[in-house]
Structure 1
Amino acid sequence: MDSIEVVLVMMLAVVASAYIRRVLPGTIPLPLVQIGLGALIAAKSEHGVDLEPDLFFLVFLPPLLFLDGWRIPKSGLLRDKGTIIELAFGLVVFTVIGAGFLIHWMIPAMPLPVAFALAAIVSPTDPVAVSSIAATSPIPKRLMHILEGESLLNDASGLVCFRFAVAAAMTGAFSLQTAAITFFWLVAGGIAAGVGVTWLITWLQRWLTRHFGEPPGSPILVNLLMPFGAYLVAERLHASGILAAVAAGITMSYVELSGHAMASTRIQRSAVWDTVQFSLNGVMFVLLGEQLPEIFHLAGTSLEESGHLNRWWLLVYALAITAGLLVLRFAWVWASLRLTIFKQKFRHQPRQKINPRLLLATTLAGARGTITLAGVLTLPLVLPDGSPFPARALTIFMACSVILLSLLVASIALPRLLAGMTFPAEPEEQQEEDLARRTAANAAISAIEKAQIELMESDACIDPDVYPQAAARVIAFYEHKLKEVDPESQQAWRKTDSAERELRLAALAAERNTVFDLARHDHISDETSRKLVREIDLMEARYR
């Protein structure tokens, strides 16, 4: 019963964090509020949560990474694939080497393989933390897409480096050839598992629907189980389950373009996934906060392992490691941008200048999160000879300190760094939206004219005069949409459309209040009121 109570308390903490976040200053990101509530739960609770990393990875990461892969703009991923790969793989290896030697130099009591393991586990940025911080900072969309793509892919590279560093600490040996082969299989096998499982489940679901119909709620439940299936299949194949979940989400975005799902299913599925995302994101950071008091109790052991007696040395180490990670990230991003400018010069393309503030923003936005915590907790307790794993407590303590410091630095510095900056609107997005609206409206008008003729000529037609009037009303609606995206009158129509939207929202609110009032006074049934309110809510969602 204690476990159920802890879960319920954490869910309540997630709900409370959303309201507390609105009361606190705008620069404090939601993850920090949730971490604080988790620490408060740990202080008031007699029984802490025994966090099992393998279970944590299975329960939390697949659905969240699946959803991020599903919703991230694919055009941005393909357009900036070179930059994303450089950050997700090149930067991770660069960080492991640079930070590993720095940590070993500062703390000689920590063996070099363990220092590399610590550097590897703090190298991946956290997609949840990055998204939460970006919500309070005016980060350009293109940069945000690059950061999201990096955080989706660098989990696998960081965890692979961590695995090899731990293996080297356990055995005292390291094979570059074995590491390269294993890394290739982890990446290729994980991607193949994610794509294969998604296509197989989708094909099977369509076959069952064609032959037996579609039970209510079944497609949504299958969609929720899909990332877990991809993750487990990849892990059974000894490939990367994390990359499998990401690949499954990206594949699902292409599957969705087939348009086989029913409209009601898409609406309900979106609402379900929004709830799952909010709940799991929040519980992850509440769990992190709940683990912190126990981890900080390891400070005494950490002091002995580091060879110091003053507790302030732990803070010095944490600050130095965080600063080192920022310096390494800054150097890599700057070098990557300089290389891009050199390529543009070599190809005689128009060169872009490096914006120092955006360069610093890219550096500071690399916040760490729960993946680092879950990974570092998988450190073995003992070596093969039975002796304790060297500097285990110190490694866990430093990893958690880096998580907190990176979140604090990003949440405090980013809003101030980007304050007052104005970013030009991306014309490509508006042009794409206008093209889609114009093409879809023309197709709709053609379909209306064709359907009108077919209905008037059908045997079921009772009154042919009704269809021209109805068709004229529907066509007028689409002609209005075409005028909205007309380049000659676009600005005027958009002003009118904005005013019309406000009036429609006011009318819908009055309509809904009236329906509720009729139901309260028993003039209509609850069933009728729910049906009408759902129609009004869907219309309001469209205009909002």
Structure 2
Amino acid sequence: METVTLILALLFAVVMSGILARLLPFSLPRPLVQIAMGAAIGLVAGWRVVLDPDIFFLLFLPPLLFLDGWRLPSEDLFKDRTTVLELALGLVVVTVLGMGLFIHWLLPAMPLPVAFALAAVVSPTDPIAVAAIAQRTPIPKRMMHILEGESLLNDASGLVCLRFAIAATLTGTFSLGAATFDFLWAALGGLGVGAGLTWLVGWAKAVITRRLGEESSSQILISLLIPFGAYLVAEHLHCSGILASVAAGLTMSIVEARGNALAVTRIRRTTVWDVIQFTANGVIFVLLGEQLPTILAGAAASVHLTGHHAPWWLINYVIAISLGLAALRFVWVWLSFRLTLFRRRKDRAQPHWRVIGAMSFAGVRGAITLAGVLTLPLTMLDGTPFPARDLAIFLAMGVIIFSLIAGSIGLPLMMRGLEMPPEPARDAQVDAARTAAAEAAIAAIERTQHRLADGRKDADAYVNIAARLMDLYRERIGHPAAEPQQQEMRKRDEAIERDLRLAALRAERQEVFRRVRNRELGSEAARRLVREIDLFEARFLI
């Protein structure tokens, strides 16, 4: 019963965090509000969640990483693949080595392998935290795609480095050859498992649907099970379950491009996944806050390892590590952009320092960092306590909070008035696709009209309705070729039409509800009418 109550309290905190974030007189990102509410729950209610990292990874990371991979445009990820790999792989390795030595120099009492372990868990950025920050700050699409691709792929490299650091701490040995093989197996195996399982499920769904038809609820449930299945299979094979979830999401976008799913399935599935994303993101940050009182309680004992007695010294170390991470990321991003992203342009313009600064502030740490540091074992092989474990956990939590605050403040400042390098406009592609789709629709209307009207007495009705529909599509075909001034006028007219249609639809819905209240219309018929109005209204709100 207490577990159920705690779960309900966490969900209630997620709901209230959104309300509180909007009520505050100053702008505060929702993740920080959720962390504060989680800490309040831990202090006031006295609840303590024993955060098992394995269960935490299994429950939260697969669906969220799967969804991010699913919705990430694969063509954009492929276009900037060099930059993404430099950040997701190169930056992680450099961070582990550089920050590991820096942390050991800063805290000599922390053994070097443990320092490398701490550097490994703070090296990957968190896609959940990055998305949470991006909700408040308009980020150019290309920059956001690079950040999403980096955060989706660097988790595996960071956690693999963590595994090696823990093994070196426990055994006192390290093998570069074995580490390289394990990394390649974890990465390539995880990608293969995720992609292969999703292709297999997609093929099986297509076969069953052709024979038996499609059931929307089953299709939605299958999409929910795919990331968990990919994660569990990959972990069973000692591969990266995180990369398997990401690969499953990327492959899902390719499978869905076949267009086999029904429209109603896609609409309902999108709604379900939006709710899961909102809930899981919120619960993660509330849980982070709930762990904070326990971590702070161990700060008094941890500070003695540093040679000081006042706990506030730990804050200095958190700031020093966070600044070191930011400086290292700034330099690496500058090198990466100079060598790849901007080098492909003919004028070879140098990246603006604010672009690099924005990318640096966007390197936010989150749940993966905390869950990773909690995997540090409690004891060594001989039964002695694992050295500096509580100190490492406190520093990792401090880096998470510091990066969230710095990103929430610094990123909007860096993005204000910033102009990114010009990107090729995709309006031509969109216009070409609209035209081709309209031409295909006209051809389909003609074929269907001839097939249905053949030999019927009311054939004239088919001809008239088909002509009216084809005129609408022909009008759509003519729009892309309009002059710039005509396009501006068309946008203005579309905005006016949108406002008028929304007002009309809302009036329709209110009238339906009025008739239900007055018992002039049954509830079942009302639900059907309201759903039609809602779907039509959604077209103008997307």
1:41 and 2:41 aligned: yes
- Corresponding residue number in structure 2 for 1:17: 17
Residue 334 of structure 1: how far off its partner (Å): 1.2
Residue 427 of structure 1: how far off its partner (Å): 5.0
Residue 422 of structure 1: how far off its partner (Å): 4.9
The CA RMSD over aligned residues, in Å, is 1.6
- Corresponding residue number in structure 1 for 2:231: 231
- Corresponding residue number in structure 2 for 1:128: 128
C-alpha distance in 1, partners of 2:444/2:423?
Answer: 32
- Corresponding residue number in structure 2 for 1:293: 293
- Corresponding residue number in structure 1 for 2:94: 94
- Corresponding residue number in structure 2 for 1:174: 174
C-alpha distance in 1, partners of 2:307/2:180?
Answer: 36
- Corresponding residue number in structure 1 for 2:402: 405
1:483 and 2:478 aligned: yes
With structure 1 as the length reference, what TM-score do the two structures score? Answer: 0.96
- Among 447, 465, 469, the alignment partner of 1:470 is 465
C-alpha distance in 2, partners of 1:166/1:324?
Answer: 22
Q: Is the 8 A contact 2:192 2:244 kept in 1?
A: yes
Q: Is the 8 A contact 1:341 1:352 kept in 2?
A: no
* Partner deviation per Cα, 1:291-330 (whole Å, 9 max, x = no partner): 0010011102211222211222111111100000001101
Q: Is the 8 A contact 1:483 1:493 kept in 2?
A: no
- Corresponding residue number in structure 2 for 1:153: 153
With structure 2 as the length reference, what TM-score do the two structures score? Answer: 0.97
- Corresponding residue number in structure 2 for 1:363: 360
C-alpha distance in 1, partners of 2:489/2:280?
Answer: 44
Q: Is the 8 A contact 2:41 2:47 kept in 1?
A: no
Q: Is the 8 A contact 1:234 1:244 kept in 2?
A: yes
C-alpha distance in 1, partners of 2:250/2:26?
Answer: 32
Q: Is the 8 A contact 1:62 1:231 kept in 2?
A: yes
Moved more, 331-340 or 405-414: 331-340
- Corresponding residue number in structure 2 for 1:76: 76
C-alpha distance in 2, partners of 1:254/1:264?
Answer: 19
C-alpha distance in 2, partners of 1:524/1:123?
Answer: 60
- Corresponding residue number in structure 2 for 1:454: 451
Residue 341 of structure 1: how far off its partner (Å): 7.4
C-alpha distance in 2, partners of 1:60/1:341?
Answer: 33
Moved more, 330-339 or 357-366: 330-339
In structure 2, relative to structure 1, the CA distance for the partners of 1:424 and 1:352 (3 Å cut) is closer
In structure 2, relative to structure 1, the CA distance for the partners of 1:484 and 1:97 (3 Å cut) is same
Once the two structures are superposed, the pairs formed by residues 166-245 of structure 1 within 5 Å of their partners are 166-245=166-245
C-alpha distance in 2, partners of 1:313/1:387?
Answer: 26
- Among 369, 372, 381, the alignment partner of 1:372 is 369
Return the letter of the residue paired with 2:359.
Answer: T
Count of residues in correspondence between the two structures: 539
- Among 490, 510, 513, the alignment partner of 2:510 is 513
Identity of aligned residues (%): 54
C-alpha distance in 1, partners of 2:184/2:428?
Answer: 40
Q: Is the 8 A contact 2:42 2:293 kept in 1?
A: yes
C-alpha distance in 1, partners of 2:420/2:176?
Answer: 44
C-alpha distance in 1, partners of 2:339/2:390?
Answer: 40
C-alpha distance in 2, partners of 1:319/1:163?
Answer: 25
In structure 2, relative to structure 1, the CA distance for the partners of 1:123 and 1:178 (3 Å cut) is same
Residue 350 of structure 1: how far off its partner (Å): 2.7
Moved more, 268-277 or 499-508: 499-508
Q: Is the 8 A contact 2:342 2:350 kept in 1?
A: no
Moved more, 104-113 or 135-144: 135-144
C-alpha distance in 2, partners of 1:262/1:153?
Answer: 31
Return the letter of the residue paired with 2:353.
Answer: P
In structure 2, relative to structure 1, the CA distance for the partners of 1:241 and 1:85 (3 Å cut) is same
Residue 424 of structure 1: how far off its partner (Å): 7.9
1:2 and 2:5 aligned: no
1:326 and 2:321 aligned: no
C-alpha distance in 1, partners of 2:301/2:364?
Answer: 27
In structure 2, relative to structure 1, the CA distance for the partners of 1:341 and 1:201 (3 Å cut) is closer
Q: 1:465 is paired with a residue of what secondary structure?
A: helix
Residue 396 of structure 1: how far off its partner (Å): 0.4
Q: Is the 8 A contact 1:69 1:247 kept in 2?
A: yes
In structure 2, relative to structure 1, the CA distance for the partners of 1:25 and 1:427 (3 Å cut) is farther
* Partner deviation per Cα, 1:343-374 (whole Å, 9 max, x = no partner): 559xxx33122111111111111010000011
C-alpha distance in 2, partners of 1:420/1:342?
Answer: 20
Q: 2:375 is paired with a residue of what secondary structure?
A: coil
Moved more, 478-487 or 350-359: 478-487
